[in-house]
């Protein structure tokens, strides 16, 4: 049962890790809203790296953001968090592959492999948390500007890239939770078996000791 949980956790973590790249490549993190907007002939959409505009004929033009320091703080923070989540996901995949019980990497040191798998679960959890914070922060800013009556800029709506990011974070958190639960399930059984063995040994030594004393009387 533990091997099945580990395989499921690895699949969920890997799928979440792949979806991070898909989310970052998606250009529709936010899309200009037609509600109360004077711009009706063109659509503006952005992600963390560029801003694009397309007209009714389908012609579009994109430009990269010219300066990192000129960007709003939430975009800079979202960039850092998404890159950090990729790093955590990479460490999580490596640790999970090494620590899986069905993996031959690392030999048959199952106690050590279980701890490494638990570390992989922690990395997956950190990956999901970083992604969730970045996506939610970006979406909260869009929502706040949309409902702000005194905001004079272009109002945007949530794009498909954010939904992909939320799904990625959910998969990573589920994968990390599965790994942590599989390690917790295995630990009590092992302690019980060890305690039983120690108890059996102690009793056998007591019996032998008593037998030795009676033999001398």
pTM of the model: 0.76
Task: Tell me the three-class secondary structure of the chain, residue by residue.
Answer: CHHHHHHHHHHHHHHHHHHHHHHHHCCCCEEECCCCCCCCCEEEEECCCEEEEEECCCCEEEEECCCCCCCCHHHHHHHHHHHHHHHHHHHHHHHHHHHCCCCCCCCCCHHHHHHHHHHHHHHHHHHHHHHHHHHHHHHHHHHHHHHCCCCCCCCEEECHHHHHHHHHHHHHHHHHHHHHHHHHHHHHHHHHHHHHHHHHHHHHHHHHHHHHHHHHC
Work out the average pLDDT over 18-25.
94
All structural domains of the chain, each given as residue ranges with its CATH number in brackets, are 2-216 (1.20.140.150)
Each residue's pLDDT tens digit, 126-185? 999 999 999 999 999 999 988 888 887 788 889 999 999 999 999 999 999 988 887 764
pLDDT of residue 105: 65
Each residue's pLDDT tens digit, 100-136? 776 666 566 667 777 888 899 999 999 999 999 999 9
- C-alpha distances (whole Å) from 196 to each of 49, 178, 187 are 60, 28, 14
pLDDT of residue 212: 46
């Amino acid at each position: 049962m533990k091997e099945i949980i580990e395989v499921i956790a690895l699949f969920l973590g890997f799928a979440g890790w792949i979806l991070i790249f898909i989310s970052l490549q998606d250009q529709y993190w936010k899309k200009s809203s037609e509600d109360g907007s004077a711009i009706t002939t063109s659509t503006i959409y952005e992600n963390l790296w560029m801003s694009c505009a397309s007209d009714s004929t389908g012609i579009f033009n994109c430009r990269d953001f010219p300066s990192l320091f000129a960007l709003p703080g939430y975009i800079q923070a979202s960039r850092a968090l998404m890159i950090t989540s990729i790093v955590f996901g990479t460490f999580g995949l490596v640790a999970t592959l090494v620590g899986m019980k069905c993996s031959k990497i690392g030999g048959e040191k199952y106690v050590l492999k279980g701890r490494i798998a638990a570390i992989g679960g922690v990395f997956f959890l950190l990956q999901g948390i970083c992604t969730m914070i970045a996506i939610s922060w970006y979406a909260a800013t869009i929502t706040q500007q949309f409902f702000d009556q005194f905001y004079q800029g272009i109002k945007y709506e949530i794009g498909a890239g954010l939904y992909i990011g939320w799904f990625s974070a959910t998969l990573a958190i589920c994968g990390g939770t599965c790994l942590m639960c599989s390690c917790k399930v295995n630990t009590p059984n092992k302690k019980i078996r060890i305690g039983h063995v120690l108890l059996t040994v102690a009793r056998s030594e007591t019996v032998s000791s008593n037998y030795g004393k009676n033999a001398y009387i």
